[in-house]
Amino acid sequence: MATVLKETAQDANPWDVSRAELYTQDVWQEPFRQMREKSPIYFCPESKFGPYWSVTNYKAIQHIEALPKVFSSSWEYGGITVAGDGLDHLQEGDIPMPMFIAMDPPQHTAQRRTVAPAFGPTEVERMRADTVARTAAVLDSLPIGQPFDWVEKLSIELTTQMLAILFDFSWEERHKLTRWSDVLGDIESFDTLEKRQHRLATAFEMGASFKELWDRKAQNPGQHDLISVMLQSDAMKHMSHEEFMGNLILLIVGGNDTTRNSMTAFAYAMDKFPEERAKLEQNHSHELAVNAMHELIRWQTPLAHMRRTATEDTELFGHQIKKRDKLALWYISANRDESVFPNGDKVIVDRENARRHLSFGYGIHRCVGARVAELQLTTLISELQKRRLRVNVLEEPTRVPASFVHGYKSMMVELSQY
């Protein structure tokens, strides 16, 4: 792991952790450690995304997420990433697409309630057998002893299949979901008119495709896929086209990059921490696989931050926050808060409190798809164990250049059997 940031602008503030290059080069750990120690609530006066507060410890993030009236998620103020500027600052090529992750109560409550049952324990249990079968099929299709890209052949394939099933989307065209998710989840795509237009064109392409699916589902009621569930609900059936697209983007980006990156993180981390891999190779119990899954989601933190906007002047642990200030809640840092997770940069598959991680957020917006993600990752770990497969990483992965989606673009590996 590199420890010094290469090619940094001379005058860059080392504590401006919204800079994409910190993540591409995997050198974000040290600035966050310093902030947690010296200034866990830090005002960054200037950045590519304007001024913002960085909140970097566990306690303060929980505190903020428990006060959604004071710290809003609303798209009208800029939504859930440090990039958004809200309705007052719309630029050419921007069209707001409201989604319920970026709404406050009462709209948030009503829309979340509609989709939540599709991700509840009963539904997820119903998905188990199929998830095991698909994971087994993908693993059995991979070559042993030959190099291949784990991201493309395994992580993308498995998460895209799951999304296609959740939406009852065309199986043959499922790879479109990956492309749409990559473009729409990229917060670095706001900075030029050209990039905003490309983003918008992608959103419309996706919207048109889903509109067809929506119309088909409307004529064929009573099914259990996500579109049918939305169509049949009072809270969602009257959505505008923009709101419909917004919520689709939410479910696709929410379910895709995040789970994909935790699957890649698992393979990467097992190679990086061989003594932890040995524990999983020797002990095939379900309990250890589940704990390793929680630990990997903590360690990776597939969404590095969520953002909130202050709705009023307020005090936060001695800091004066002004109405409309942006606050970036850095889960990636809270998940390494020394007071909760000692030695947090290290993966410890049997870490006692791994499941206390904040990767799924906290409070009223806590990830609605968490159980589906957990099922997919645990299944992957168990199916690798059953086949006694070891993933050997051949070279450092290339990483996503962003401070929101924290993940991998590609990672060359070779499988062997132990």
Residues in the site for ligand HEM, rule: CB under 6 A? 65, 100-101, 112, 166, 250-251, 254-255, 258-259, 262, 297, 302-303, 306, 359-363, 365-369, 372-373
Quickly list DSSP for 207-242: HHHHHHHHHHHHTS-S--SHHHHHHT-TTTTT--HH
CA distance 361 to 79: 15
- Cα–Cα dist 412/147, whole Å: 6
Q: CB of residue 39 vs ligand HEM: minimum separation in angstroms? A: 23
Round to the nearest angstrom and report the end-to-end CA distance of the chain. 27
Closer to ligand HEM at the Cβ: 123 or 281? 123
Distance of CA 83 to the CA centre of its chain: 16
**Residue 33: closest CA among 323, 345, 325:** 345
Q: Quick one: 374 or 383, whose CB is closer to ligand HEM? A: 374
Q: Report the nearest approach of ligand HEM to the CB of residue 261 (Å).
A: 8
Q: How far is the CB of 242 from ligand HEM (least distance, A)?
A: 17
In the bound state with ligand HEM, the residue whose beta carbon lies nearer, of 326 and 415, is: 326
Between 40 and 68, CB nearer to ligand HEM: 68
Toward ligand HEM, which CB reaches closer, 123 or 271?
A: 123
Taking the complex as a whole, how short is the minimal distance between the CB of residue 147 and ligand HEM, in angstroms? 26
Question: What does the block give as tokens for 380?
Answer: 């992957």
Q: How far is the CB of 189 from ligand HEM (least distance, A)?
A: 20
In angstroms, give the least distance from the CB of 377 to ligand HEM: 7
Backbone angles phi, psi at 54, to 5 degrees: -105, 125
The Cβ of residue 342 has, within 10 Å, a number of other Cβ atoms equal to 12
Instruction: Output the smallest distance, CB 158 to ligand HEM, in A.
Output: 11
Please say which residue, 280 or 375, places its beta carbon nearer to ligand HEM: 375
Q: Which is nearer to ligand HEM, 250 or 411 (CB)?
A: 250
DSSP of 66-82, one letter per residue? T-TTTEE--GGGTTTST
Least spacing, CB of residue 378 vs ligand HEM, in Å: 11
Tokens found for residue 353: 């409190």
Angle between helices 370-386 and 241-272 (to 10 degrees): 30
Cis peptide, bond prior to residue 14, ω within 30 of zero: no
Distance, in Å, from the CA atom of 279 to the CA atom of 291, rounded to the nearest integer, reads: 12
Q: Least Å distance between CB 227 and ligand HEM?
A: 13
Q: Which is nearer to ligand HEM, 28 or 360 (CB)?
A: 360
Nearer to ligand HEM, 47 or 301 (CB): 301
CB of 363 to ligand HEM, least distance (A): 6
Closest CA to 53 of 359, 311, 365, 329: 329
Q: What angle do CA 333, 338, 343 make, to 5 degrees?
A: 95
As a whole number of angstroms, the longest Cα–Cα distance in the chain is: 60
Give the C-alpha separation, 373 to 379, whole Å: 10
Distance of CA 173 to the CA centre of its chain: 23
Identify whether the C-beta of residue 348 lies closer than 8 Å to the C-beta of residue 276.
yes
Query: Which of 49, 100 has the CB closer to ligand HEM?
Result: 100
> If residue 326 lies in a helix (H) or strand (E), which one and from where to where?
strand 326-330
State both tokens at 20: 């994409």
